[in-house]
Amino acid sequence: MDYKVIYEGKSKLVCEGPDDKSYVMVFKDTATAGNGAKKEELNGKGVLNRRISGLIYDYLMKNGIETHLLETIDDNTVLVKKAEILQVEVIVRNVAAGSFSKKYGVEEGAALHNRVVEFCYKSDELGDPMMNDSQITAVGLATQEELDTLRREALRIDDLLIAYFEKLGIRLIDFKLEFGRADGKILLCDEISPDSCRLWDSKTNAKMDKDRFRREMGQVLEGYADVLSRMEAEKN
Ligand code: UDP
């Protein structure tokens, strides 16, 4: 189907919906890393991420998380409620990895004394810099009340996802969330997939996520497909 593209992101197209209250969101096969410096087409990534994200959203919504998802249109396309995306990304960390390990000199895989919630300014130009609450409210990206909601919802989602992945023999190391404003509420938006989460096999600590692409480890989509097949097996 041809949709009128409003915005093309690195891994998704946002298109006009059937009415002025919705958008059509298409998951692309493009993989990017390093703020777009590394870019490749991975055939089938869009479908895998749409399916994984769809099952995660179903589970979160059943557990009371409000999201922008309205319905699935086809295997790589969904209908979502129009929301004003907050320019603040929320990162939750259960285990040290990635930029946290690098920046603070903590070994990857090290246990943390508490979970970490980070806010980052969603700006490719500036390289998504981390911001604290007073910086965010000072420049008007969100109100303190909204930040309190983001933190609370992100930790609820973390609790739910840790339990979900644990059953599949997967450790949820960290992940990134996006939220939007619609009808006076804050909704979970965008995808939750191996593009936006670090997922390690519980027994072997093998990476099943986008680090396979970032670090040129190969077998990227095999990792994603393994995550999906465990999710589907648990569902049945
Ligand atoms: N993440 C993301 N988009 C971003 C930045 C981070 O989806 O623009 C995810 C990433 O996949 C990981 C978590 O957020 O699961 C923490 O990422 P980190 O800050 O360690 O950054 P990275 O090492 O990916 O640069």
pLDDT beyond 90 at 100: yes
Domain ranges across the chain: 5-81, 84-221
Q: What percent of the chain has pLDDT over 70?
A: 100
Residue 193 CB–ligand 1 contact under 6 Å: no
User: What integer is the mean pLDDT of 36-65?
Assistant: 97
Residue 176 CB–ligand 1 contact under 6 Å: yes
CATH number given to 84-221:
3.30.470.20
pLDDT digits (tens, 9 = 90+) for 198-235: 999 999 999 999 999 999 999 999 999 999 999 999 98
Looking at the CA of residue 97, tell me the nearest atom of ligand 1: 20
pLDDT band at 116 (very low <50, low <70, confident <90, very high): very high
At position 126, the amino acid (one-letter code) is L
Contact (Cβ atoms closer than 8 angstroms) between residue 15 and residue 5? yes
pLDDT digits (tens, 9 = 90+) for 3-17: 999 999 999 999 999
Closest Cα to atom 25 of ligand 1? 99
Q: What are phi and psi of 53, to 5 degrees?
A: -60, -40
pLDDT beyond 90 at 155: yes
Strand partners, 157: none
Measured CA to CA, the distance from residue 140 to residue 57 in angstroms comes to 29
pLDDT beyond 90 at 1: no
CATH number given to 5-81:
3.30.200.20
